[in-house]
Structures are given as C-alpha cells and as structure tokens.
Amino acid sequence: MAGAIVTTFLQLNTIFLSMVMEAIPFVLVGVLISGLIQSFITERWIAKIMPKNRFLSSLFGCSVGILFPSCECGIVPITRRLLGKGVPLNAGIAFMLTGPVVNPIVLFSTYVAFGNDWRIVAVRAGMAFAVALVVSVSISLLFPALPLRQAIQEMAASTALSDVPRAPMPLRRKLGSVLTHAVEEFFSVGKYLVLGAFIAACMQTFIPTSSLLHIGSNPIMASLVMMGLAFTMSLCSEADAFIASSFRSTFSMGSISAFLVFGPMIDIKNTLMLLGTFKTKFVVVLIAFVSVSTLTGSLIVGRLIG
C-alpha cells in the first residue's frame, strides 16, 4: 500500500515538473514579446495597420500568428498586452487561438510527427484558422465591450495614456522597460501556469487514459474524447503532435484533428490564465464556442479524409 502511494506520488511529481519545465521557456518568450509590445508598439501604430472591418480584422489576427513562435503557455500575456494597446477584441482572440497552432515551429513539428505528411499539416492549420475566425467574429458580436478584469482594465487605460506623444525615450531605458514589464507579466501568469500544471498532472495520474479510449466508439464521441484528452494532458503545442500521432491506429483523422486544434486553444493551464485575464462569463462563452466549432470541424474533416 505504502509502495503504491509512493509510486503514485512520484508519477504525479514527474508529470507536474515536466509540464512546468516544458512550459516555462515559452512563457518567458511570451512575456518578453509582451514587454517589447508595451515598450515599442504604440496604440496609433496599431490603429494604422488594423483593418476597420470586423471580418478583415479577424482575418488579420488569424494571420499574425504565423509570425509568433509561441505556444498556448505564452500567448495569453501577449494577447492581454495587445488588447491593452487597442487591438480589437475579435482580432486579439483570433490571434490568441491561432498563434499556438499556425506558427512555423508547431507546423514543422506536426510535419515530422506524422511522417512528413503535409496533408495533416494543412488540416491542422486550416481547421485552426477556420475555428478561430468563426469564434472571434461571433464573440465580438456578443461582447461589444472589452471583457477584461477590472485591474487589467486599469492597466489598459494606463497603457493608452502612456501612448500620449512625449519626448522619445532612450533605447537603453526602453530595453529596461521591456525587462520590467516581462518580469511583472511572468509572475502574473506564472501562478496560473503552476496551478494548471498541477491539476493536469493530477488528472493524468488518477484518471486512466484507457477509461477514456473505451468511450470513443462513434465519430462524435471520439472527437469529444480526444478534446477531453487534449484539455487534460495540457501539452505544449510544439510537442502535442507526437502524442496525437500515437493515436492513429485507434482514432480517425477527424478526432485526431480535434486533439490537434482544441488542445493549443483551450487546456487546463491556459484556461486558468484566461480566468486571470478575462471575466468568467467571457471565458465560459469562449470555451463553449471553441468546443462546438472544433467538434463541427473535426466531423467535417472525418467526412473528407476519414
């Protein structure tokens, strides 16, 4: 009995530490990019490049993710900073959902994991793009006001004030400001990362994967099971394709696509980060939209590819 408890604890500890150690580098990248945005990008510059049309700005947000090598662990602080700088909600959400999927590092890892199959890469990127576009446009219609928590609303207001024209800041001071904001952001989101990793590790330790695999007997249930696994396992998007490829003999490509798209958009770690950034009602609605859109997309992929 005591031996079993020790073994379980060691397994929990290993999973927890591996998640945290895997995620921290990407969180650091995310908060550094956030600091650069805070110090070097002004609200007026964003207003110049951002399309005014809701649909076009969502398309723009989906496309920007290609340029940011960040996984879901680091995407929330970047999005928070962009929204504070005046990026429309729909464009910010579109970027947040697609960034962890369509960036070059993730797409290349997917290509390698699935035996150099560009078809799987295209399915993953295309489905993520479609889900993000639908969700971001829909969410902006339901939430005309920015649904940030009160403290972050105040931060956004102070950011807007900081964009008032003033004497240019020396480069050295700007770089110092980048580091200051990065440190503040890291400790702001870090607590949610640690808590989320611990919850995910507990679920992986105490809920056997085999018990979920038995449920996936039809296309809808199979996709729901794979979405549940993606949420529970909370893998970084740079590594999740290798896990997904191990299910090829058990699940159809439709349900695997649900795993590849849903996990980077919504998992335990970034759900807690979202709850620390946005109002609870918004997070619930966002998760519901992403879930329904991903499930629908996976069924379409299953019909087309099988």
Structure tokens at 42: 């002004």
- Residues 76-134: pLDDT tens digits? 887 888 888 888 999 999 989 998 888 887 888 888 888 888 899 999 999 999 999 99
pLDDT at 252: 84
pLDDT at 161: 43
Q: Which of 121, 131, 94, 97 is nearest to 244 (CA)?
A: 121
pLDDT at 38: 63
The residue behind tokens 């996976």 is 298
pLDDT at 215: 61
pTM, two decimals, is 0.75
CA distance 97 to 65: 9
pLDDT at 132: 95
At 222, the amino acid letter reads A
Axis crossing angle, helix 253-265 with helix 280-304, rounded to the nearest 10: 160
CA distance 290 to 265: 8
- Residues 179-210: pLDDT tens digits? 876 777 677 666 766 776 677 678 667 766 66
Give rounded-to-5 percent helix, strand, coil for the chain. 80, 0, 20
Q: Which ranges of the chain have pLDDT less than 50?
A: 159-166
> How many CA atoms lie within 13 Å of 137's alpha carbon, on the beta-carbon side?
15
